[in-house]
Structure 1
Amino acid sequence: MSPSMSPSVPQPEQLTVPVPGGDLAVLRWPAAAPAAPTVVAVHGITANALAWFEVARTLAGRATLLAPDLRGRGASRAVGGPYGLARHADDVAALITALDLGPTVVAGHSMGAWITALTAVRHPGLVSRVLLVDGAVSFPLPEGVGEDDALAAVLGPALARLSMTFPDRAAYRAFWRQHPAFAADWSDEIDAYTQRDLVGVEPELHSACVLEAVRTDGAQVLLDREAAAAVHLLPCPGELLWAERGLFDEPQALYDEQRIARAGLDPGRVVSASLVPDTNHYSILWGRTGAEAVVRRLLEAGSAAG
């Protein structure tokens, strides 16, 4: 079934949670039953909370899904620095505490996976289980490759977008529809996700992402020792899902069997690490196959936590 034929995504409500520096915007897709589990879901480096739309659709009310816009992104753009993965992890902990969720399941995609692992390590009493989606496992930079070169290679297109302006929303839509990882799966929901990132006034609309936040966080994904160690220090069970293809739908993904094996994950902490076939770095979250794999693990985690 194509995205356009899928049942509609339930509309989330938006709430705010106080954190140092302002109020964090949080989208909430409620469960159909009061006793259903709750999942906190953390987006990637230049994304926003609507990245979890297909997971919300696939959950179909079987769990409450809470997804924050991280500080410096989306409707949390005005929540200023300091940035960094530990700061985001503490914000996630503040969300769990403010809403009195108790130990809960936390999921993270891409950079959000590093934040998720850090949240568990820094606040072990608040996290019952983690799901890491195409992220959280770090590797040393190749010899002779500096931080700036690595950032340019990984974030170059994203950093370029943050410096661009667009005359209207249609122009921003056209920009995103050319992305090789999005084009085949374009839908009204992906459109809403990308439009949530757009702020300003025509003819100078621009991304809501704060450039300083993206640069700071990106450098830590590549180089921060605490962030790299978190997946190896999880105080609760964790699972890793990885995509078959990369950020631009290229054959070489972020992870593969050999890279996962070299990472030396502790099977007592990361209880499973699984490939999700026929997905790229983005469709593992919002494609039908990827969302079903994510939701299956989330519901199993919620059941185990309960």
Structure 2
Amino acid sequence: MREFEDVGVEVPGGRLSVRRWPGAAGGPVVLALHGIASNGLAWGPVAEALGDIELLAPDLRGRGLSRTVTGPFSMARHADDMLAVLGHFGVGRAVLAGHSMGGYAACIAARRDPGRYGELVLVDGGLGFPVPADVDIDAVLHAVIGPAMRKLEREFADRAAYHAFWAAHPAFARLDGPLVAAYLDRDLTGTAPRMRSACSPDAIREDAADELRNPEVFAAIHELTLPTRLLWAERGLSDEPTGLYAPEVIAASGLESEGVALHFVPDVNHYSVLLGDAGARLVAGHLADAARRSAGAAARG
């Protein structure tokens, strides 16, 4: 496994924890944002597949080792935090990546500060689904992310019990190994027999309300000025045959005509596109390509 370190970055409201996998000196840097109820180690398998490319994967505020970083929570706040991460590590320009909710935050970051990001790689996220104001956010979250909400409502006797909880999830049926275990362990706090998810319910609800109701968030993917690609998984959050983005949704989005490169990823679901071996290798390949293209564009510029 690659060497890594966890580094604290000061942001308003606390200290953000960033998992850093160092790369070649002077080489490209990828900054990767995770999903709504996740943590930075969701990018662990991708980091392994990236080889000597540096990857920075923060636990977004209210999650993982950043669970005590206070709100308010929003895509714009996460975008601000990413500037603090780049500044802390002395990175002038990075390839930006986002999975699921991290894709929406990445779109906001890329639209607001395009000079700090060479290319944008969205992984099953970033293309919005507006939800009416009279629909309960918790109901939407339970319907869409299911177990990721139920985990907030219960305690676990130990780490093994938490691993078993996720092993029963259809989308995790074939996901195992030390990198997946580390990702799950990062999402636990407390001591046995009363362990809980490290995700803040307030963070999830506030981010979901912003992601699902903020017109600026919906518009961001359509207003980007840097090279962008969207990888969309064949299967869904519970391994349904149709993914988060059905083919007809992608076709009707207008993204291709706006210059976003669209890449269908077969035989993966919303989680295995990052945590599974095949998905991680494919995502890493796109990130490496984006890093090469971004470096070439900077050299020509």
Query: How high is the TM-score relative to the length of structure 2?
Result: 0.93
Match of 1:221 among 203, 211, 214: 211
Residues 1:14 and 2:3 are matched in the alignment: no
Amino acid at match of 1:297: H
Describe the superposition over 1:151-190 as per-residue Cα deviations: whole angstroms up to 9, x where unpaired: 3311343222112101112211211111111121222211
Query: How high is the TM-score relative to the length of structure 1?
Result: 0.92
Match of 1:275 among 260, 264, 272: 264
Aligned 8 A contact 2:20 2:55 in 1: yes
Match of 1:59 among 29, 50, 70: 50
Q: Sort the Cα spacing of 1:142 and 1:76 in 2 relative to 1 into closer, same or farther, 3 A.
A: closer
- Tell me how far apart the structure 2 counterparts of residues 20 and 304 of structure 1 sit (CA, whole Å): 34
Task: Please state how far the C-alpha of 1:302 moved relative to its aligned partner.
Answer: 0.9
Residues 1:304 and 2:296 are matched in the alignment: no
Helix, strand or coil at the partner of 1:106:
strand
Aligned 8 A contact 1:139 1:263 in 2: no
- Tell me how far apart the structure 2 counterparts of residues 200 and 227 of structure 1 sit (CA, whole Å): 34
Task: Please state how far the C-alpha of 1:297 moved relative to its aligned partner.
Answer: 1.4
Equivalent runs, 1:163-242 vs 2, <5 Å:
163-242=153-232
Describe the superposition over 1:82-131 as per-residue Cα deviations: whole angstroms up to 9, x where unpaired: 11111111111221122221121110101011111111112222111100
Task: Please state how far the C-alpha of 1:199 moved relative to its aligned partner.
Answer: 0.4
Q: Between Structure 1 and Structure 2, how many residues are aligned?
A: 295
- Tell me how far apart the structure 2 counterparts of residues 40 and 215 of structure 1 sit (CA, whole Å): 24
Task: Please state how far the C-alpha of 1:257 moved relative to its aligned partner.
Answer: 2.2
Structure 1: tracts of 5 or more residues without a match: 1-8
Q: Sort the Cα spacing of 1:294 and 1:21 in 2 relative to 1 into closer, same or farther, 3 A.
A: same
Match of 1:258 among 248, 256, 259: 248
Helix, strand or coil at the partner of 1:131:
strand
Superposition CA RMSD, Å: 1.7
Amino acid at match of 2:159: R
- Tell me how far apart the structure 1 counterparts of residues 177 and 89 of structure 2 sit (CA, whole Å): 32
- Tell me how far apart the structure 1 counterparts of residues 133 and 40 of structure 2 sit (CA, whole Å): 36
Task: Please state how far the C-alpha of 1:192 moved relative to its aligned partner.
Answer: 1.2
Match of 1:40 among 8, 19, 31: 31
Q: Sort the Cα spacing of 1:147 and 1:301 in 2 relative to 1 into closer, same or farther, 3 A.
A: same
Indicate the percent of aligned positions where both proteins have the same amino acid: 48
